[in-house]
Amino acid sequence: MPFHSLGLDASLVRAATEKGYLAPTAIQREAIPPILQGRDLLGAAETGSGKTAAFSLPLLQRVAGQSPTAPRRLQALVLVPTRELAAQVGESMRSLARLLPRPLKIAVAFGGVSINPQLMALRGGADIAIATPGRLLDLVEHRALKLGSVATLVLDEADRLFDLGFADELGRILALLPERRQNLLFSATFPAAIQSLAESLLHDPVRVEVEAGAVEEPAILQRAIAVDAGRRTQLLRHLVKTGGWTRVLVFVATKFAAEIVADKLRKAGIDAEPFHGELSQGKRSQVLADFKAERVQVVVATDLAARGIDVARLPAVVNYDLPRSPVDYLHRIGRTGRAGESGVALSFVPPASEAHFRLIEKRQGLNVPRERLAGFEPVEAPEVAADLAPVPGTGGIKGKRPSKKDKLRAAAVAAAAAER
């Protein structure tokens, strides 16, 4: 099915085609016609499904359809959880709006940077605003934005808005919006808070569901490599050098680990940069731009910073540290194999993390075979046998079940080994 049969204007179809969108994705096919009709919509979809264009294209058409002589008023508001997602949605929307006969002003606002340039940019108003909730309220308080004319509200990654503690801000924003408006809510997961938000916010919504992983087959090859915790950096170096990947996004558990691992890779002659919440906004934008332009081969990131990162055709994602939750696992691997491209998602599974990875597999209905790579076979005691194995340097006796203290010591030894 071509884009133009969805009821979109020729200039939007052309902009989409020029971006390389030759045919709509599943969510675009299902969501664009009802949004154009003004219906409310509940979208169960992940990043990677094409959801940004699914709401941006009809939104742009509705906003651009206003009388060209009418004064500029804020007509659409897109709320997003993170600054990266705000920047990304803004960039995508501007490029889709590029060929519209009437130029639209699309404002992007997020916290963590000075408010002044955003205040300046909002002089003369905007047609569409894409913002994180806290900064949006700041701008309203500064009288840089008025929400009384918003005709369409989009909540993007609504579950993350709640996870990141934006529920109060959201309530305050909703109170400032006109009662009659179109509401579009997109979320990857539907915990109770999101369900009740959807019930109170949406009127007779069209429901669109795109199953995780079923978006564009074949998308992501999932692999798991059994390796000792202390040898993960060596293994990563080996894979980056031999894998033929132009770019790799590596996930670690902490900002500290992001710095250390990136540093070790750099010392091995690999272009690597850390990416986490403690870097300045300027540095983060620079790293992302370099990564997109293939000037940096490896980005070592924490979960929060990497959420919503969209780098076209990312060939590989590596879970150096496993994610804490099965849902985060999905979010992480969704960074590769975007929109029909194939990609590989590789998880390092040290013996002590085996049980955790099994839990992730169970929750996601997966069965990822453990691979052992020659030269990197794990020698740490496997988890079950660990109960019986002697603990180095602790005088543990084989065959004797270790005490709780022995186990604590073993964990400390393993953690120290992992640091090396």
Cβ 418 to ligand AMP, closest distance in Å?
33
Which range, of 22-30, 107-115, 146-154, 375-383, touches ligand AMP by CB under 6 A? 22-30
The Cα angle at residue 49 between residues 305 and 5, in degrees rounded to 5: 140
Which range, of 45-53, 74-82, 219-227, 236-244, touches ligand AMP by CB under 6 A? 45-53
Smallest CA-to-CA distance from 352 within 228, 234, 223 is with: 228
Strand partners, 186: 43
Residue 409 binds to ligand AMP (criterion: CB under 6 A) = no
Residue 247 binds to ligand AMP (criterion: CB under 6 A) = no
> For ligand AMP, which is the closer residue by CB, 77 or 225?
77
Which 270-289 residues touch ligand AMP, going by CB under 6 A? none
Contact criterion met (CB below 8 Å) for 251 and 319: yes
Torsion angle in degrees (nearest 10) through CA of 367, 51, 248, 216:
50
Cβ 25 to ligand AMP, closest distance in Å?
5
How far, in whole angstroms, is CA 62 from its chain's centroid? Answer: 27
Cβ 309 to ligand AMP, closest distance in Å?
10
Which 197-226 residues touch ligand AMP, going by CB under 6 A? none
Among 11, 49, 82, 187, binds ligand AMP (CB under 6 A): 49
Cβ 82 to ligand AMP, closest distance in Å?
13
Q: Which residues contact 43 (CB under 8 A, 6 or more apart)?
A: 27, 31, 51, 54, 55, 184, 185, 186, 187, 208, 209, 210
Contact criterion met (CB below 8 Å) for 383 and 370: no
> For ligand AMP, which is the closer residue by CB, 25 or 182?
25
Tell me the C-alpha distance between 220 and 343, whole Å. Answer: 5
Residue 25 binds to ligand AMP (criterion: CB under 6 A) = yes
Which range, of 18-26, 31-39, 60-68, 96-104, touches ligand AMP by CB under 6 A? 18-26
Which range, of 5-13, 16-24, 283-291, 391-399, touches ligand AMP by CB under 6 A? 16-24
Cβ 128 to ligand AMP, closest distance in Å?
16
Residue 24 binds to ligand AMP (criterion: CB under 6 A) = yes
Residue 21 binds to ligand AMP (criterion: CB under 6 A) = yes
Tell me the C-alpha distance between 195 and 190, whole Å. Answer: 6
Residue 43 binds to ligand AMP (criterion: CB under 6 A) = no
Residues counted in the chain? 420
Among 8, 26, 41, 47, binds ligand AMP (CB under 6 A): 47
Smallest CA-to-CA distance from 84 within 274, 244, 277, 216 is with: 277
Helices (DSSP H) in 221-280: which residue ranges? Answer: 232-242, 255-267
Tell me the C-alpha distance between 81 and 87, whole Å. Answer: 11
Strand partners, 154: 78, 184
Torsion angle in degrees (nearest 10) through CA of 303, 308, 313, 319:
10
Among 12, 13, 41, 53, binds ligand AMP (CB under 6 A): 53
Residue 181 binds to ligand AMP (criterion: CB under 6 A) = no
Which range, of 48-56, 244-252, 292-300, 401-409, touches ligand AMP by CB under 6 A? 48-56
Contact criterion met (CB below 8 Å) for 184 and 152: yes
x/- track of binding to ligand AMP for residues 329-348 (CB under 6 A): ---------xx---------
Among 312, 355, 397, 412, binds ligand AMP (CB under 6 A): 312
> Which residues would be at the binding site for ligand AMP (CB under 6 A)?
20-21, 24-25, 28, 47-53, 310, 312, 338-339
